Structure 1
Amino acid sequence: MCAHQQALVRRVGLACRRLGRPFVLEILPYPLPGEPDPPLGALERAVAAFAQPEFGVDLYKLPYPGGRFQAYRSLPAPWVLLSGRLGFADFMRALEASLEGGAVGFLAGRAFWLEAVRRYPDMAAMERELERAQERFLLARGLLGVTGL
């Protein structure tokens, strides 16, 4: 892991503590120029690099690790699932597995609203998809045992 990335995360953690704000860290490995995808094991290495209390992370926002939750179990704070590029059906499967793997919830966007954005400029279709997005959100929230609005 790059020292400058760790230094930045440390500074943000300190600033959040000083200002009394929660620190949510999203870890997303990315390919370097010329690489088609992040190298195998990049996610696990990135999570391990930021799994120290010294960073001051209050909540980790992480991608679905394909059922390999070992690296996530060493985190000093809770973690939630992000939707990343998952469609809704895949996101729901990943959310179920993640909750069983130790996630405390989700912070997701595209899995819910992407279809609405794709309907632009048809505002009526967008509105229908946004209603569907709300239904999807409630379904996902239901996996957490939360009901109602």
Structure 2
Amino acid sequence: MRWSQRSDDRGGGRPVDVTLQALSYDDGTFAMVAMDQRESLRTMLAEHGRPDDPAAITAFKAAVAEHLAPLASGFLIDAGYDAPTEPGLILAVDQLTQERGGPVTDTHLDRAQLEDLAAAKARGVVALKLLVIWKRDGEQARRLEMAQEFVEVCRTAGLLSVLEPVVQPAPDEDDFDLDEAIVAGAEALGPTRPDLYKAQVPSRGLGDADAIVKTCERITATLPVPWVVLSNGVARDDFPRAVELACTGGASGTLAGRALWTPALEADDPVPVLATRCRERLAEIAEIVHRTARPWQAAVGHN
């Protein structure tokens, strides 16, 4: 693990244990793999006629880790599963409100995971991740407070904070605009100053390239920290273009799951697909971020 010491530039001058270099490639860009899906993974397995019991989920997560982690700059996993400590290991500490077959509609901090972060660090964890559902439903203040607490918990523990706001329309919100909501979410949650901000791809990566880049430039100008894109909401075959456009607009890479490993769900044996097609897709994404992404050091220095 690429441990180092730095002074916390967000105030107080307290040292923390690790920098974003623990999650990035040597050039400061990111192509990280997300394997922290829970109910969503059960649904996807069942939809493809695959077993979705705990043993099957454990086996699939382990196979993804074995074949994709060696090419990634970081790896995100949820509690209760083994994962390699190289590359940088991110632990999800969010409790999800989600009905089977449906989207996550809300989240809370999983306080059980926060009780012994020293043990998590001993297992190789270098970062924690919190998903925040951001919508105009009257709960914004609670969610902002949760994000602030999360960042402070990470800082105190000497762990990196990865904040993942996902914008959604509130019930009966007829004027919802995805791109404007993504920017508004960055305006609201960026000031919590997580180490890394994870955002949706504007326009789901579809449509006019210049417009997508311009929206990404707005996100970059809004956020005081480096940011990466997720893949949920982007069609699998559209994801390489989406990553390139986001990076052109100032993103530092990606932290993605479904766009990388879902082809393996379609096979009777996922391992050969993970070892070939999925690895090739991750290598393609890594090449894109190496070529187009803004290194996290430049993002920190700019803001």
Q: TM-score range by the shorter chain?
A: 0.7 to 0.9
Question: C-alpha displacement at 1:89, in angstroms?
Answer: 2.4
Counterpart for residue 144 of structure 1: 289
- Equivalent residue in structure 2 for 1:20, among 141, 144, 158: 158
Counterpart for residue 181 of structure 2: 42
1:1-149 mapped onto 2 (5 Å cutoff): 2-34=140-172, 39-40=176-177, 41-52=180-191, 55-66=192-203, 67=212, 68-69=215-216, 70-119=218-267, 122-123=268-269, 126-130=270-274, 131-145=276-290
Measured against aligned partners, the alpha-carbon deviations of 1:9-48 in whole angstroms (never above 9, x if no partner) come to 1111111110001110111112333558x81122221111
Q: Which runs of 5+ in 2 are unaligned?
A: 1-135, 204-211, 292-303
Measured against aligned partners, the alpha-carbon deviations of 1:87-106 in whole angstroms (never above 9, x if no partner) come to 33211011110111001111
- TM-score after normalising by structure 1: 0.84
**How many equivalent residue pairs?**
139
SS in 1 for 2:176: coil
Cα distance in structure 2, aligned partners of 1:20 and 1:133: 33
Cα distance in structure 2, aligned partners of 1:56 and 1:103: 16
Contact 2:200 / 2:231 at 8 angstroms: preserved in 1? Answer: yes
- Give the number of the structure whose residues are more often strand, by fraction: 2
Structure with the greater alpha carbon radius of gyration = 2
Runs of 4+ in 1 over 4 A off after TM superposition: none
Cα distance in structure 2, aligned partners of 1:144 and 1:5: 31
Residue type of the alignment partner of 1:56: R
SS in 1 for 2:190: coil
Contact 2:182 / 2:199 at 8 angstroms: preserved in 1? Answer: no
- TM-score after normalising by structure 2: 0.43
SS in 1 for 2:250: coil
Identity of aligned residues (%): 32
Contact 1:85 / 1:110 at 8 angstroms: preserved in 2? Answer: no
Cα distance in structure 2, aligned partners of 1:83 and 1:89: 11
CA RMSD, 1 decimal: 1.9
Contact 2:228 / 2:251 at 8 angstroms: preserved in 1? Answer: yes
Cα distance in structure 1, aligned partners of 2:186 and 2:266: 32
Structure number with the bigger relative contact order (C-alpha 8 A, sep ≥ 6) is 2
Cα distance in structure 2, aligned partners of 1:91 and 1:98: 10
Contact 1:58 / 1:77 at 8 angstroms: preserved in 2? Answer: yes
The 3 A distance-change label for structure 1 pair 48 and 144 is: same
Question: C-alpha displacement at 1:127, in angstroms?
Answer: 2.7
